[in-house]
């Protein structure tokens, strides 16, 4: 079992019951949007506001503890920061899965054909998950 309190402290984030609950949900579910997080936390903290969720998510993003994954034509989802990876997104059901790929060749090619100084990548691959493919 992961100690969410120590994890928050490692990132110099104040430990609150709401933050611990956010981390716990993201750890269990992988990727969640604000609305789903709010519904989950509302069952644990009936007086929690949507503004509180946004405030905590933004504080965790600032400390590079969480990252925002911008999914085309959908709400952004949030995840705990981890090693560089891409996302597979099901265009039918919305399921999101991490995939560990080496993006260095894409970055090298983009740097060769563009004058941009690339400082981050967000690779989203979409298609049908195994369940929807059937």
The torsion angles phi and psi of 24, rounded to 5 degrees, stand at -60, -45
Closest CA to 31 of 4, 57, 69, 61: 69
Report the interhelical angle of 34-44 vs 50-62 (nearest 10°). Answer: 120
Q: Is the dihedral of CA 32, 93, 69, 31 positive or negative?
A: positive
49 is in an annotated binding site: no
18 is in an annotated binding site: no
52 is in an annotated binding site: no
Most distant pair of Cα atoms in the chain: their distance: 53
Closest CA to 31 of 72, 75, 73: 75
90 is in an annotated binding site: yes
Closest CA to 74 of 95, 53, 51, 97: 95
Residues annotated in a binding site: 90, 93, 129, 132
Residues annotated in a binding site for Zn(2+): 90, 93, 129, 132
């Amino acid at each position: 079992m992961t100690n969410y309190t120590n994890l928050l402290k490692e990132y110099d984030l104040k430990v609150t019951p709401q933050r611990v609950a956010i981390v716990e949900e993201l750890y269990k579910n992988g990727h969640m949007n604000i609305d789903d997080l709010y519904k989950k936390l509302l069952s644990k903290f009936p007086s929690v506001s949507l503004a509180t969720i946004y405030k905590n998510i933004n504080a965790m993003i600032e400390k590079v503890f969480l990252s925002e994954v911008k999914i085309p034509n959908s709400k952004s989802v949030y995840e705990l920061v981890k090693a560089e990876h891409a996302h597979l997104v099901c265009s039918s059901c919305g399921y999101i899965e991490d995939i560990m790929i080496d993006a260095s060749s894409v970055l090298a090619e983009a740097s060769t054909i563009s004058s941009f100084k690339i400082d981050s990548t967000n690779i989203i691959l979409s298609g049908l998950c195994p369940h929807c493919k059937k």
